[in-house]
Amino acid sequence: MDVKRRYVIPGDIIATGPLRPEQNVYQDGDRMISTCVGISEIFENSVKVIPLTGGYMPKTNDLVIGKVIGTSPLSWEFDINSCFVGFLPAQDVFGRDYSPTKDELRQRLDIGDLVATRIANFDRSRDPLLTVQDRDLGKIESGELVEISPSKVPRLIGKRGSMIQTIEMATKAIITIGQNGWIVISCDDSEGLLKAVEAVKMIDALAHTPNLTERVKSMLGVPDGENNDTIND
């Protein structure tokens, strides 16, 4: 699939010629012009711009949580909360002996499955390459998905991991954090699960406010003075 991509801003001429304008593009004569900041795509005879605001921009070595949205003979396609689609090669899961004729991808990872992956390679000229060849990576068997702004992930983690440790210790939950803003929370106790979800959503909504650490601790019922190395801003 030959897809041409580049960064554009409003007013940029993406291309000229007999093309069909789609998302965030308007036509002026034979010129296709962007209406937003984003990444333009020219595929076959259509032109569109995928807006950059709000989504995740991949970085090599980031841990991300992806959702399987499709397959090809050689790879899975993932939604990673980005304008880019992530690709996980079949050989990464099946090994070097993978054969498209005898191995069925959807027996390992099916549409809708959540997977903890790492970005193996990304250079902005093509969709990111994913891998599960690392410790604690692979299909996520259970848990609740919570989506937050990718820019709030450092605040959720906290200084030296203190904020996320506070939440996990208070709720007995296991929290997997994707740098793309997708968080999976697992907990055997339903009340603990609800508390952990509430804490993550609170941090997403109030990350810019002062005394957030104290608010989270109060909501979780953590006594003052416990885990004092959390960020107190």
Provide the pLDDT for residue 52. 66
pLDDT band at 2 (very low <50, low <70, confident <90, very high): low
Provide the pLDDT for residue 44. 81
Above 60 in pLDDT, residue 228?
no
pLDDT band at 118 (very low <50, low <70, confident <90, very high): very high
pTM of the full predicted structure?
0.73
Residue 38, Cβ neighbours under 10 Å: how many? 21
How does pLDDT run across 57-111, given as a tens digit for each residue? Answer: 899 999 999 999 999 989 999 999 988 899 999 999 998 888 888 888 989 999 9
Above 80 in pLDDT, residue 53?
no
